[in-house]
Amino acid sequence: MGRRRKKHLPDTGHSFISYFKRATSPLIVLHFLSEKPMYGYEISAEMKARSNGKYSISILYPVLYRLEEQGYVEISATEVTDGRARSYYCITDAGRAYLETTQREYREISSIYESLMEQKQ
């Protein structure tokens, strides 16, 4: 019997970049908050500035809320500016430990990936 050809699956709209951002955005947020407490828009602006506009996420607040639920960040202060509340987030000790562990795992898996992708001679 012959081998079946697999059909080309339609594009789902989910690129590697979007999956990568979804996986790494909590780590970037934790990293920024390990430097100083920040509010949501400040985090977004910092991402854009440090990446020369190449890295941004449209779902920052769900990321912050999830990190808060996990105990990795907490609101350290809230101020009202021009009638709008601005909550400053800071990293917790649990968040620092998670960030450290995950950064180590990321470096390890990235190194393994690079080794796998090297051209065999």
Give the chain's domain count: 1
State the residue range of the domain holding 95. Answer: 21-116
Q: Does residue 10 lie within any of the structural domains?
A: no
Q: Does residue 69 lie within any of the structural domains?
A: yes
φ, ψ (nearest 5 deg) of residue 76: -95, -25
Q: Does residue 15 lie within any of the structural domains?
A: no
- Taking the CB of residue 38, how many other CB atoms lie within 10 A of it? 19
Residue 6 has a pLDDT of 64
d(CA 63, CA 44): 12
Residue 100 has a pLDDT of 98
pTM as predicted: 0.82
Q: Does residue 105 lie within any of the structural domains?
A: yes
Structure tokens at 45: 């602006």
* Average confidence (pLDDT) per 10 residues, the chain, 121 residues: 62 78 94 97 95 88 97 95 92 98 96 90 65
- CATH number of the structural domain spanning residue 59: 1.10.10.10
